[in-house]
């Protein structure tokens, strides 16, 4: 009976840890503009359920523009300072051919999340893209 109890506890621990081990890969990249520039473009790729998070600082009242080109499977969401993808509502979104532009509500570090829709992510496809940011 003692061995069964040990096995049961080990099985419960393994089940509890499975979601933590199955987390999707997230790559975080800070965005810096060249001296005197108000925009930047970066290449990237996401495979399957991976996502890329780009962070950039801005001030309330500035206008941010985000565009993405490349694979038609590349999509993005824009999150306000303090908001976390998956736990908050995006203030904007877009995809290839659908740029986003908006006046920023607060000072701080904004996160732009690049991802694929579920249909292509579950097939393990790779979306290669170039994402562009502008703040004015």
Domain boundaries, the chain: 24-135
Give the Cα separation of 76 and 79 in Å (integer). 10
Position 2 scores a pLDDT of 53
Determine the average pLDDT of the residues in 65-88: 96
Q: Per-residue pLDDT for 79 more than 90?
A: yes
Please tell me the CATH code under which domain 24-135 is placed: 2.60.120.380
Position 132 scores a pLDDT of 98
Which tens digit of pLDDT belongs to each residue from 85-127? 999 999 999 999 999 999 999 999 999 999 999 999 999 999 9
- Its pTM stands at 0.82
Position 24 scores a pLDDT of 81
Position 23 scores a pLDDT of 52
């Amino acid at each position: 009976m003692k061995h069964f109890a040990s096995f049961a506890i080990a099985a419960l621990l393994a089940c509890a840890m499975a979601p933590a081990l199955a987390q999707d890969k997230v790559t975080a990249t800070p965005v810096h503009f060249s001296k005197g520039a108000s925009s930047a473009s970066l290449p990237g790729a996401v495979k399957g359920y991976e996502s890329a998070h780009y962070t950039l600082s801005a001030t309330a009242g500035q206008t941010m523009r985000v565009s993405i080109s490349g694979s038609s499977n590349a999509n993005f969401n824009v999150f306000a300072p303090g908001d976390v993808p998956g736990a908050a509502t995006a203030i904007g979104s877009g995809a290839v051919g659908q740029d986003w532009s908006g006046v920023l509500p607060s000072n701080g570090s904004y996160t732009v999340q690049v991802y694929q829709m579920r249909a292509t992510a579950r097939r393990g496809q790779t979306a290669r893209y170039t994402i562009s940011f502008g703040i004015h």
